[in-house]
Structure 1
Amino acid sequence: MSNACAGSSADGILGLRVGGLFIILVTSLVGTLFPVIAKRVPFLRRRVPGSVFEFAKFFGSGVILATGFIHLLEPAADQLGGRSIRSAGGCIDDSWADFPYASAFCMSALFAAFVLQMVAFRLGSAKLAKMGKPQPDQPTQCFPARPSSLDSVVPTPRDTITGGDELELSRNPSLVADKAPLPGVTRPTMREHAFHDASEENPLLAQAIAIGTLEFGICFHSVIIGLTLAVTRSSEFRPLLVVIVFHQAFEGLGVGARLAFLDTKPGYEWIPWVGSLIYSICTPIGMAVGLGLEQGLAIAGESATLASGIMNSLSAGILLYTALVELMAHEFVFNRFYHTCGWGSFSFAIVSFAVGAGLMGLIGKWA
């Protein structure tokens, strides 16, 4: 067996490995729960500036995009491609280099996620129709457009402004509703602007499917990360642990932001909290499994390499669909707020997204 198939031995520093398990658990919990708590706990909802929450949401969206391309698809292409075949010093059959299997698996998962969500939309809309409720539609304008002049602004009643909202309104009058809102439409407040998300307009079933597929793909990835970290050689463990701590925190922000805006009905408020917990324990579970394996396990053997490559490529397809459709297209391209709002609001969202993608992509240099 070549060195590439010999695997890594989880030798020494057992205490640090066990400690790393709990460090990653806490970090993942903090990253994932922050958006959920800020959105759903009234005490913090009134005190956390809307700009902080908006940054976390779009930063996390950028993280999900970078995770799909750099942390999943690229490693999958190496594991199922020419770099891992036996003739190149790897441990999988040379026939795996005859076709771009990683891209094919990724495309299949992306298409499956698309079909699954379309079916969910149809089922959710049909159920609402049977209940006699109007089918939710993409709002023509999620938030008030920038008025042409300050003369067209009607001051928002003072009792609807809390905390630092009054100062923010004075700096950004575009957050105040137009003088003549449509009949029957409740004028949105600054606080609603800060804690509103376009995905909340979707049927609950479609929201649940979208969150479920996202978390399913990320959990696959997290288990692999934990397993790999647990059997990494002692000389490489410390720097890799630091990188993965940041990796899990950033990724947790992306998952938590989606969970925070899940429009749960009475009796289902527990779903975002359980979703946060599931994500947070995936990497520690992978580490625990790795620590429980025998010393010198061939973790890089043929079966493990193929399994890891297939799982990574499938997860990449799920995350890329979520990032490109649910986050980029749904939040920006088809959200008319970003067609009419001020350049400051638009730039803030784009820069937050780019920072998340950039930092997560940079982490891919080491993990």
Structure 2
Amino acid sequence: MIRRDTDDCSSSNSDYLLGLRIASIFIIYVGSSFGALFPVLARRSKFINVPKSLFDFAKYFGSGVIIATAFIHLLGPAIEELGSSCLSEGWREYPYALALCLLSIFAIFIVELVAFRWGTTILAKIGMHHDAHGHEIGSHAAHGPEGNMIDSNAAKDVEAAAAPSESEKHTHTHHMLDAAVSQIVGVAILEFGVVLHSVLIGLTLAVNEGFKILFVVLVFHQTFEGLGIGSRLAYMNLPQRYNFVPIIGAVVYGFTTPVGIAIGLGLRTTYNPNSPTALIVSGVLDSLSAGILIYTGLVELLAHEFLFNKEMMESSNARLTYALGAMLLGCGLMALLGKWA
């Protein structure tokens, strides 16, 4: 959480440690890119043998990081920024940060709801059913006790039934495309919230007077957050032609904070992070980003990975404890970093 001196609305001395501020662009880029790219490349590589348990750890650890980022590193600063004494009295008469966060949560929910209804209609036209938990099933699939009944016509010709017809191939293609689009949209929403946050903290780092502590903390912050994004990107199950998407997502994340730092250094003589305009813009974007990550973290990551995941619900107590422990560790470490940044 970026701390601001609410009693001082003047500009800070951004020329302090200018050389190190410039070097931070490259240092944070390396940390961010490594965190985001390593899980993606390691899962695809034949030469890097990473145990599945380690990938699982990174995935659940990353979920905890993202949830803590939403509450501690985004919503907290937004409340502070929009409640600053540098703003007019009107901004302190209502909890605008919480209202904007709430608006963001419902906006993402409604967009996703409309998208799923539209997608379900399309799937119904090609003979498929969309499960709210993310499983698309062909209309010919059996459900309930009657699913044990055997179609006598199909039993007569097992060989013919085994060979997929043209319509089945067409249905499978649509299923793969729908699943790919759903995953890409979900990760895009997650990364959009993280990218906004990363640019803003990069901008703040470039002009903040407490640079040394903030710099060290943000190296860990961005690496952990990159690990959270990277582990999600690595587990995307996409058709061959969309295999570039996870790599593009990781590369984009790596650039965001360095870009923010570079912009801040370029504007260091004119940019005042404590000015009313800067506080409002930063507070509004932090609030909206918090809503995006809260919705994504709690619904897309937490609920879908645990409550709606049949494999996880039927797994052993040891595996469930391991997953929960990894998630809580990520959340706890990221929340602790909020003490300094």
Whether these two folds match at TM > 0.5 is yes
Which one of the candidate residues 46, 51, 65 is aligned to 1:63? Answer: 65
| Match runs of 1:132-211 below 5 Å | 132=127, 135=130, 138=133, 203-211=179-187
What is the CA deviation profile of residues 157-187 of structure 1, one whole-angstrom value per residue up to 9, with x for unaligned ones? xxxxxxxxxxxxxxxxxxxxxxxxxxx9xxx
SS in 2 for 1:262: coil
Q: 1:342 to 1:294 in 2, by over 3 A?
A: closer
State the secondary structure of the residue aligned to 2:274.
coil
Residue 213 of structure 2 corresponds to residue 213 of structure 1: no
- Given the superposition, is the C-alpha separation of residues 318 and 202 from structure 1 closer, same or farther in structure 2, using an over 3 Å criterion? farther
Q: 1:129 to 1:265 in 2, by over 3 A?
A: farther
Do residues 15 (structure 1) and 19 (structure 2) align? yes
1:365 shift after superposition: 0.2
State the SS of the aligned residue for 1:308: helix
Provide the aligned C-alpha RMSD in A. 2.2
| Selected match of 2:263 from 285, 289, 295 | 289
Alignment map for 1:48-59 (pairs within 5 Å): 48-59=50-61
Tell whether 2:94 aligns with 1:99. Answer: yes
Distance 1:246 1:115 in 2: 34
1:5 aligns with 2:43: no
Asked if the contact 2:70–2:293 (Cα under 8 Å) also holds between the matched residues in 1, the reply is yes
Residue 124 of structure 1, CA deviation: 3.2
Closer, same or farther: CA 67–92 of 1 in aligned 2, 3 Å: same
Cα displacement string for residues 269-324 of structure 1 (whole angstroms, at most 9, x for unaligned residues): 11111111111111000000011014263221000001111100100000000111
In the TM superposition, what is the alpha-carbon distance from 1:132 to its structure 2 partner? 4.7
Q: CA deviation at 1:4?
A: 2.3
Judge conservation of contact 2:207–2:268 (CA < 8 Å) in 1. no
Structure 2 CA distance for partners of 1:353 and 1:24, relative to 1, 3 Å: same
In the TM superposition, residue 74 of structure 1 has moved relative to its aligned partner by 1.0
- Paired letter, 1:237: F
Shift of residue 92 of structure 1? Answer: 0.5
* Residue 327 (str. 1) matches residue 327 (str. 2): no
Displacement of 1:260 = 1.5
**How far did residue 138 of structure 1 move?**
4.1
Is the Cα contact below 8 Å between 1:117 and 1:206 reproduced in 2?
A: no
Question: Residue deviations 1:26-74, cap 9 Å, x none?
Answer: 1000100122113233443xx2111111100000000000000100111
State the partner residue of 2:119. 124
What's 2:215 paired with?
241
Distance of aligned partners of 1:201 and 1:266 in 2 relative to their CA distance in 1, 3 Å threshold: closer
Q: Is the 8 A contact 2:69 2:334 kept in 1?
A: yes
Q: Does 1:39 align with 2:39?
A: no
The match for 1:251 among 225, 228, 247 is: 225
In the alignment, the residues of structure 2 paired with residue 258 and residue 99 of structure 1 have an alpha-carbon distance, to the nearest angstrom, of 36
Residue identity opposite 2:29 in structure 1: L
* 2:37–2:250 contact (8 Å) kept in structure 1: yes
Q: CA deviation at 1:9?
A: 2.4
What SS does structure 2 have at the residue aligned with 1:203?
helix
For residues 344 and 365 of structure 1, the distance between their equivalents in structure 2, rounded to whole angstroms, comes to: 32
Contact persistence 2:43–2:50 (CA under 8 A): no
Q: 2:323 aligns with which of 326, 346, 349?
A: 349
Identity %: 47
Aligned residue type for 2:293: L
Residue 34 of structure 2 is matched in structure 1 by: 30
**Secondary structure of the residue that 2:240 maps to in structure 1?**
coil
1:118 Cα deviation after fit: 2.0
**Is the CA contact (8 Å cut-off) linking 1:105 and 1:313 kept in structure 2?**
yes
Asked whether the 8 Å contact 1:73–1:312 carries over to 2, the reply is yes
Equivalent residue for 1:172?
none
Q: 1:224 aligns with which of 195, 200, 212?
A: 200
Q: How does 1:271-282 map to 2 (within 5 A)?
A: 271-282=245-256
Tell me what 2:159 maps to.
Answer: none
Aligned partners of 2:106 and 2:43: how far apart in 1? 31
In the alignment of these two chains, the number of paired residues is 297
- Which structure 2 residue ranges, 5 or more long, are not aligned? 1-5, 136-161, 163-175
Partner of 1:340: 314
Kept in 1: contact 2:206–2:268 (CA 8 A): no
After superposition, residues 301-312 of structure 1 pair within 5 angstroms as 301-312=275-286
- Per the normalisation by structure 2, the TM-score is 0.82
How far off its partner does 1:201 sit? 11
Unpaired segments ≥5 residues, structure 1: 85-89, 141-183, 185-199
* Paired position in structure 2 for 1:171: none
| Cα 1:303–1:137 shift into 2, 3 Å | closer
